[in-house]
Structure 1
Amino acid sequence: MSFIRPVHGTAGNSEPMSSGLRLLLASGAGLSVASIYYSQPMLGVMGSSIGASDTAVGLVPTLTQLGYALGILLLTPLGDRFDRRRIILIKAALLSVALLLGGIAPDIGLLQVVSFAVGLTATLAQDIVPAAATLAPERERGKVVGTVMTGLLLGILLSRVISGVVAEHFGWRAMYMVAAASVALIGVAAWRGLPTFRPTNTLSYGALLGSLASLWNRHGALRRAALAQGLISVGFSAFWSTLAVMLHGAPFHLGSAAAGAFGLAGAAGALGAPVAGRIADRFGPEVVTRLGAGLTALSFATMLASPWLEPSHRLWLIAAGAIGFDLGAQMTLVAHQTLVFGIDPAARSRLNAVLFVCMFIGMSIGAASGSLVLARWGWVAVTLLATTSALAAFLVRLVPGARAPQSRPAQASSAL
């Protein structure tokens, strides 16, 4: 198989990336980030199985998300200081071990500790994306990043559906075992298929983290991308964090399986990301950011009509909107990453860390504000919040920005 043969790509590589290597990178991103979300549909059975209270077991996904956020901030920048291949292999091994321990955890205390470790090491996904941007030839970087990000988003959207089915038929511990095995296989494939990457700087760890603020202050293109993606993430998270609650109430009275089915609708939208990458390669990522943000806002806005429709028609409208805004959010993210990775090839890991920290902040704000808005004003107010945040992102992208600085020489981030 082509993806298990060592390649030695460079940032200036003119050869197209093999389909096997693209599959490896997309699968690695999707399976690693999925580890963060497997536990969410299984919390009820996990609590009863190990005798934990609802409050204690509710900390499992919280600690996982906290670990992931800290990992993006504290670990992802290391990709500019050390060989990315080595980092990917170490994180894959540690993530596999953490998931294995989760599957055999005898009590809630160990499960909580393991959940935090899963979040930290699942940032493997954020090392794979800059690696893909480095290995891809410049003319198809958007397409390659789009393919990898499709894998990542599919991992997020499908993880809850898969874990719910596996837990129902084989138990929640089986899901952890399956996840551990899948990440271990990705680690073996990466060991055989990825080249080594030359570090792009020799900064100390403290200086490396401090440079995140310098990059933010220096590059207006980074600030615009981070702000716009953060605003889109507010609406994205507000929708998905309140959907199950809304469907459970009148007039639908649907269970968690129905919310999972909407996740499949969102996954259909994510499949359009490679197309967005090709458009970015041909016409420039700036155009795609506006198209994506506009499609996201329009998709959310159509849901404002749902109160005037019959319940069955309302469900179809929400499903269509989910496809549209997931596609729009993914298009915008791919374009933003293409923009950000072009700012400075020697700082791709740190630039990606800044972008995703802001995206995570937006998702956290969206989850909190969505729940509050739903409780006080109902579902229409949630869709209005999502529409407003997406329109704000569209306006950010419409404001003319300064020309992005010239990238440093391509060999700065080449593989050995």
Structure 2
Amino acid sequence: MPAEVPRRVIVLLAIACGVAVGNIYFPQAVSPLIAAGLRVSPDDAALVVTAVQLGYAAGIFLLVPLGDRFPHRPLIATLLGAAGLCLLAAGSAPGLPPLVGASVLVGLTTVVAPIVVPMAAGLVGEDRRGAVTGTLLAGSIGGMLLSRALGGAAGEWLGWRAPYLTAAAVAMVIATVLAFTLPATTPPSRQRYPALLAETLRLLRDEPELRRSSFYQATIFAAFTAVWTAVALLLTGPVYGLGGQAVGALAFVNAATMIATPIAGRQIDRRGPDPVNLVCMLGVLGSAAVLAFGGLGGAAGLTALVVGTLLLDVAMQSGMVANQVRIFALRPEVRSRLNTAYMTCAFLGGSAGSWLGTRAHTVFGWPGVCVLVAALSVLALTRHLFRARALAAVPAVGTPAG
């Protein structure tokens, strides 16, 4: 692969990531509107958020390995077009069960970003990999933020179906653009599909650094999804009494995350992934303390929610860049399968976080959600510190005394 590609290609890929990732996150802003529109409880409506993330985890495991087997251009365009059709079905669902089912299919097919990131890693030199990964993640963050902000606003004005139908149209348009503009790539593998899936599991078994990175992201992403699922219930509940637009506005405030991830990528290129991971874990732990004041309500509570979610978002996304740079350096010929294993673990953690966040809010209120976030960050931090301690002890083995 050439060491340099035009910047416009990277920008186009970042837009594609943003469009695809947005399909996973706008349901977080509209789930209270779904509850009102379909006349179900807010807890039941939150199942839509969990469903799309479970579908995404399944899609990562089942479909992302195809990025090592088929040319990227037709694969990416086809998946994004299929996601558009599934979004159309979700927006037309007559009740909660078919909406949950359609949401699983949306998640299953909108797995463009995990295919694009390893593709781009193969299009640039090693010295640019962190910066390019950060740029693509910034595109994903832009899609995440805009989808929640615009989804909440459109749902408030036009009903909960509007965000789904709009997202369907955008996905189909971008799929058409990508079909004609993406660079041609040669798949690195000729393995059959069952062998690709088996290789993903073998990589998890054989690569300790992949397992470590996956554990980091599963726990931190679980904390992230717990907050963003529960914050919709907090803002639209009795403490604040706001609408779906408030959830989207809170997400949009966190646009600063788009600036932070390329900076994190450059720090990773300079210092390595581990120091960035450590800072990010401490950031998530700190965000739990700040977010706890969000339960107070009023201007002080809203300020705490803004600062806390911003700190959480920056820490989670920057940690993701660090983890992906680490795993992409392991075995370049199987990057899609490495990313498959990593992202599957991450979104299984995210699905669990959505469910746990909803349960914690129902049983213990907003303080329970903050305790959950702190506990998850401590799990990741403990794993990281144990490894650092083990590495520090290695040089002492076999060293002569005296």
1:172-211 alignment, distance < 5 Å: 174-211=162-199
Write the letter of the residue equivalent to 1:14: A
1:17-96 alignment, distance < 5 Å: 17-39=5-27, 41-42=29-30, 54=40, 61=49, 63-96=51-84
By how many angstroms is 1:32 displaced?
A: 1.3
Write the letter of the residue equivalent to 2:331: D
2:69–2:191 Cα contact (<8 Å) kept: yes
Comparing 106-115 and 222-231, the one that deviates more: 106-115
Separation in 1, partners of 2:355, 2:55: 18
1:16-415 alignment, distance < 5 Å: 17-39=5-27, 41-42=29-30, 54=40, 61=49, 63-102=51-90, 105=92, 107-108=94-95, 114-170=102-158, 174-249=162-237, 251-304=239-292, 311-398=298-385, 399-400=387-388
1:270–1:330 Cα contact (<8 Å) kept: no
Comparing 342-351 and 89-98, the one that deviates more: 89-98
Separation in 1, partners of 2:297, 2:32: 32
Separation in 2, partners of 1:369, 1:61: 12
1:102–1:111 Cα contact (<8 Å) kept: yes
Separation in 1, partners of 2:134, 2:204: 24
DSSP-derived class of the 1:196 partner: coil
Task: Compute the TM-score of the two structures, normalised by the length of structure 2.
Answer: 0.85
2:54–2:348 Cα contact (<8 Å) kept: no
Write the letter of the residue equivalent to 2:335: R
Identical residues among aligned pairs (%): 34
2:67–2:336 Cα contact (<8 Å) kept: yes
Task: Compute the TM-score of the two structures, normalised by the length of structure 1.
Answer: 0.83
By how many angstroms is 1:174 displaced?
A: 4.7
Cα RMSD, aligned residues only: 2.8
Q: Deviations over 1:96-142 (max 9, x none)?
A: 33334555x47458766544432221012221121121212211111
> What is residue 407 of structure 1 aligned with on the other side?
none
By how many angstroms is 1:310 displaced?
A: 7.6
Comparing 235-244 and 225-234, the one that deviates more: 235-244
Separation in 2, partners of 1:375, 1:44: 14
Q: Deviations over 1:218-243 (max 9, x none)?
A: 11110110011111112112211211
Q: Give unmatched runs, 5+ long, in structure 2.
A: 392-402
Q: Deviations over 1:253-303 (max 9, x none)?
A: 333332222212333334311111111112222221122222222222333
Comparing 77-86 and 375-384, the one that deviates more: 375-384
Among 3, 6, 31, the residue aligned to 1:14: 3
DSSP-derived class of the 1:123 partner: coil
1:24–1:189 Cα contact (<8 Å) kept: no
Q: Deviations over 1:71-114 (max 9, x none)?
A: 111111111122222211221232233334555x4745876654
Separation in 2, partners of 1:41, 1:377: 22
Write the letter of the residue equivalent to 2:142: L
Cα 1:179–1:296, aligned 2, differ >3 Å: closer, same or farther? same
Comparing 115-124 and 20-29, the one that deviates more: 115-124
Separation in 1, partners of 2:150, 2:347: 23
> What is residue 6 of structure 1 aligned with on the other side?
none
Cα 1:37–1:167, aligned 2, differ >3 Å: closer, same or farther? same
DSSP-derived class of the 2:176 partner: helix
DSSP-derived class of the 2:70 partner: coil
Cα 1:378–1:276, aligned 2, differ >3 Å: closer, same or farther? same
Separation in 2, partners of 1:385, 1:44: 22
Write the letter of the residue equivalent to 2:11: L
By how many angstroms is 1:386 displaced?
A: 0.8
Separation in 1, partners of 2:199, 2:35: 42
